[in-house]
Amino acid sequence: MKNRFLIIVTLISVSFGYSQYRDVNVTTYGSLAEVGSIYGEPEELKGTSYIDENFKSAKLLENSTTFPARYNAFRDEIEIQNEEKIYNIKKNYNSPINFLKSSKTYQVYDYFNSKGKGTGYFVVLYNGADEGASLLVHEKIKFEEEVVKTSGYNNYSAPTLERVKDKMYISFKSNIATELPRSQKSILNLFGDSSKKIKSYAQKHKLSFKEKQDLIQILKYYNSL
């Protein structure tokens, strides 16, 4: 395990909210992963930052080297484990990370939603490849502040990490994802000049614009046009 990683810069301590972490560079066989982040959380914090706290075998799709990894949905980071230390991989558009047992692939996209724009990891449900449309899911865990009341028996609620409902996104271009709108009309508008064909196809095959498998079938049809 030790010879799989090579620390190539001096550790630099920084602060991040409740945590302290370090930035380092780590080289794996055949690929460079810039990483950082060893941190702790307060004892009173409830919940978890992770979709799955356990490290699972994963690899970069373009490389055969495997490593133990997990997804931090609160900080939107992929973490890897090297002996007793934990690091997070620097986000890279062209380095999808595949978890072998679950066949779950995370890929970095710039995204747009009702709250603005950002960059993060998405689970790829269907990959349209190149300029084709892809269906993605964004997993998220949010932080709820502690609550202190001045009266009543339960006058304190600990800070909590809580998973929120996954949101679906569509990508029509490489590395750009748009949150799936709520209304069917708004979803159809995303398909531009092909919207009428998409609507007709969905009606003919009785497909829902809210169901993942139906959306995958719709995107496959769109990519075939």
pLDDT at 166: 93
**Per-residue pLDDT tens digits for 82-106:** 777 788 888 888 889 999 999 999 9
Cα→Cα distances 201→94, 132, 158, 206, Å: 33, 18, 50, 8
Q: Whats the size of the chain, residue-wise?
A: 225
Contact by Cβ (8 Å): 173, 59: no
Q: Report the share of the chain in percent with pLDDT over 70.
A: 76
Cα→Cα distances 34→9, 22, 84, Å: 10, 12, 18
Report the alpha-carbon distance of residue 53 to residue 170 in Å, rounded: 28
pLDDT at 8: 22
Global pTM reads: 0.77
Residues in the chain predicted with pLDDT less than 70, given as ranges, are 1-43, 130-131, 147-156
**Per-residue pLDDT tens digits for 19-51:** 322 333 344 433 434 444 334 455 577 888 899
pLDDT at 83: 73
pLDDT at 84: 74
pLDDT at 141: 92
pLDDT at 185: 95
